[in-house]
Chain A
Amino acid sequence: MKLRFDDSVEAFRAEFLEWLAVNRPPAEAIEADPPRSSAYIPEWAASFTRRMFDDGWLVPGWPPERGGRNAGPIETLVYLEELNKANVPRTTNPQGLGIIAPSLLDYGTEEQIENYAMPLLRGETSACLGMSEPDAGSDLANLKTRAVRDGDNFIINGQKVWTSGANFADFCFLFCRTDPDAPKHKGISIVLMPMDTPGVTVRPLTEIISPEYPDLNEVFLDDVVLPVSNLVGELNNGWAMANGSLAHERSMVWLMGVMGMESSMNELLAEAPALLASLSAAEQATAADDIAGLYIDTVASRCLGYRGFARYVKTGSAPEQALMKMYSTEIRRDLLQIAAELRGPAALPTGLSRHGAVGSLDAYFTTFGGTISAGSSEIQRNIVAERVLGLPRG
């Protein structure tokens, strides 16, 4: 165990900070056109992505021709931390950069990489992830959208739901059933679907907060024709690939949860003395105890995350990572609830600018995006119990 990073890591950090100081998108530009959807790319984001790509700072762990510099995992961690500290959004298309591009690099053809992955990495396009359906939520393998082979094409019919960013994305990483007779997990394939293909209808779903800026969508697919060359990887191997690409995400996604929690906690601590000043002594004691408990969780999420990361780097897997999804999203929810309660009626005003603000109920409600999506907290508990602790399924 040690608290310091090696000198070489510190040198890497310094180099990145120097680059970031020159190349970061101007705060006024971000404020004028903020990240508000999972696939909408403001002008400043497109050019920032391009600069990161060109200078090897987009995905530091990748080779230079893919926007990286062959950095190690610890360097990547430091890079993500510094971006967060500087309050610079790394991407406005997290599914594209975090899941879809890496999956294409792993499983796609040369042509798919050239036509779909590289434009994503250069900030020219954005992509959405079409997994969930009305009857396939937690039980994703139950998906029914059909892709039927017809000569050199697939004909696709079905419906997706909760597709983040489908209203802005250029293409969709679409999960379909290609073998209805195989067991659930063995008949699923992934196809690349340009969103302007005839037969694709996108209907935005207004959300619980900020109905004027929907990010979730229903996507209806009626006789959508796609060339067979848009199949990603092997036919009927979609489930295995999905687990592979999500693993990419999980090795680092904990850090976002931890850093989000830390910045909310810092904000709360900065405001707490003023908020507590107007309370009675008994209320103050309760509030102080609530905040102290959340502070413990903040420290614990960092320590657990870092320890799991160290284990992951050493051995390629870490049980902590299964805990981190449910833990980091639930403590963030709890923190934003306490912060809003402390603020009383001042927590009630609503609007886009208040999404992330500690102490608004807007912020509290948006945390459920974390506890429900990408495997709900309940599903995470099942996973921990069955895969980490070895309790029997069923």
Chain B
Amino acid sequence: MDLELSDDQFELRDNIRSVLEGACPPSVVRAVYEGQGTSAELWQQMVELYWPALGVAEDAGGLGMGFVEVGLLAEELGRAAAPGPLLAMVTQYIPMVEAAGAADPLAAAIAGETIGALAYAENGRWEPAAVAASAEGSGDAWSVTGTKGAVLGGANADVFAVVARTAEGLGVFLVERSDAAVDVPALLDPGLELADLEFAAAPATVLLAPGPDAEAVIDAVASQASVAMALHVIGACRRIFEVTLDYAKVREQYDRVIGSFQALKHRFAEMYLAVERANAVGYYAALAIAEDAPDRAEAVHVAKAAAGDCQRLLAQDGLQLHGGIGYTWENDLHFLLKRAKSGDVLCGGRGFHRARLAALLGLGEAA
């Protein structure tokens, strides 16, 4: 057993990081926040680098990397608080389309010709039981009715992969943007491009035929998305940690740097532990998924719940230890704080995953 990243994995991470430092500095994030720019150019660059295809099998036209590598990309996107659809594409829509074996939509997605988003959660619940949206039809003629909330990457998506209920169980259906009512509210973190969707007998094609097999795929894709979101949150948190630590080494009060006060040193030790703890279980979960380990279900909930613990502390102390400068719009810190907090509530929050974990451990119902 080796829980350290391999040399190749470190190299990939460093590559992604340096690309993002060039292509997605805080000024790019700020432009999106301030309505002075869009994520479109960044997205084009990522498409040219084949990043949407990172985890797609080689024979399906992808780069054939494993889920740990997908996790590295998700983490680095969090570190950059990157705006745009890549996170949604790589960790939600493309895995669903690939799992469904839908060659054409997959090819269009990895070529950047279509932007797609996975529409799963309703009323903030990231779980099968919450799916009330329904689908009716047969063969290639279906229609979907219902609502979906906080759809990641939905704001700029051309097509939605909608999880909907039928008499045979859950299935996944493709609905064109023009057939849905798309509402994009003003958001704390506009870079996530969340959208609320409404479907009124929207024409749809079947992506995953409803039934137990589809439900297993939905569960697997949702689990992967949760772990990827955990790592995304952790990426933002690690960056918060780094900039806060750097600040504590230069900001002077009472004629000494604030990082020399023991009260703060111990808080940095706690923050460091929270980041490393979440990171270690986050990548363990990614590995458990990549290798289909027997404890993979527990590992998924552990990962997202630990990311939740991590963002609680890092967003709080990261802001607090900056003092007044951290409370300003001018400082870039808030992009990271907002990404960490937003990521926690997506794909099931800290409390949701702790309760699911407790249920798996035989400690009562997950309801």
Contact = CB atoms under 8 A, between A and B. Distances in A.
Interface of A: 1-5, 269, 272-273, 276, 284-285, 287-289, 291-293, 295-297, 299-300, 303-304, 306-307, 310-311, 314, 320, 323, 326-327, 378, 380-382, 384-386, 388-394
20 contacts: A3-B288, A269-B362, A272-B361, A272-B363, A276-B364, A288-B355, A297-B277, A299-B284, A300-B280, A300-B302, A306-B2, A306-B3, A311-B4, A381-B265, A381-B270, A389-B268, A391-B248, A391-B265, A392-B249, A394-B256
Nearest to A306: B3
Contacts of A384: 268-269, 272-273
Nearest to A265: B361
A71 to B, nearest CB: 17
A276 B288 contact: no
B283 A1 contact: yes
Contact of A3 (B1, B256, B281, B364): B1
B309 A296 contact: yes
Contacts of B354: 289, 292-293, 296
Interface string B208-245: 00000000000000000000000000000000000001
A382 B3 contact: no
A391 B305 contact: no
Contacts of A2: 1-2, 287, 291
Interface string B269-298: 110110011101101100110110100001
A272 B48 CA distance: 53
Contact of B1 (A4, A304, A314): A4
B1 A389 contact: no
Contacts of B273: 323, 326-327, 384
A392 B291 contact: no
Interface of B: 1-6, 9, 68, 245, 248-249, 256-257, 259-260, 262, 264-266, 268-270, 272-273, 276-278, 280-281, 283-284, 287-288, 290-291, 293, 298-299, 302, 305-306, 309, 354-355, 357-358, 361-364
Contacts of B362: 269, 272-273
Contact of B5 (A1, A300, A385, A389): A1
Nearest to B257: A392
B249 A285 contact: no
Contacts of B264: 391
B281 A303 contact: yes
A269 B361 contact: yes
A1 B268 contact: no
A183 to B, nearest CB: 22
Q: Looking at A288, A326, A384, A390, which has the most chain B CB atoms within 10 Å of its CB?
A: A288
